[in-house]
Amino acid sequence: MEGELPWNAAGGVSSGRAEEKGGKGMKRVVVIGGCVQDVLATGKAGVRIEMGTSNPGKVTTSSGGVARNIAEVIGRLGGCVHVQLVTVVGNDNAGRDLLEHARLAGVDVSLSSIVKDMRTARCFSWHARRHFLHKQVSSVGFSVLGGKPTPPD
Domains of the chain plus CATH, in order, are 19-36+57-119 (3.40.1190.30)
Q: Which residues pair with 40 in a beta bridge?
A: 60, 125
Question: Does pLDDT of 40 surpass 50?
Answer: yes
Q: For 64-110, how does the pLDDT look when each residue is reduced to its tens digit (9 = 90+)?
A: 999 999 999 999 987 788 999 999 999 999 999 999 999 999 999 99
The answer to whether 107 and 72 are in contact (CB under 8 A) is yes
Helices (H), 1-151: 19-22, 66-75, 93-104
Instruction: Please tell me the pTM assigned to this model.
Output: 0.71
Say which range, 46-50, 53-57, 138-142, has the weakest mean pLDDT. 138-142
| pLDDT attached to residue 7 | 34
5-35 burial, b for 16+ CB within 10 Å, e for fewer?
eeeeebebbbeeebeeebeeebbbbbbbbbb
| pLDDT attached to residue 24 | 62
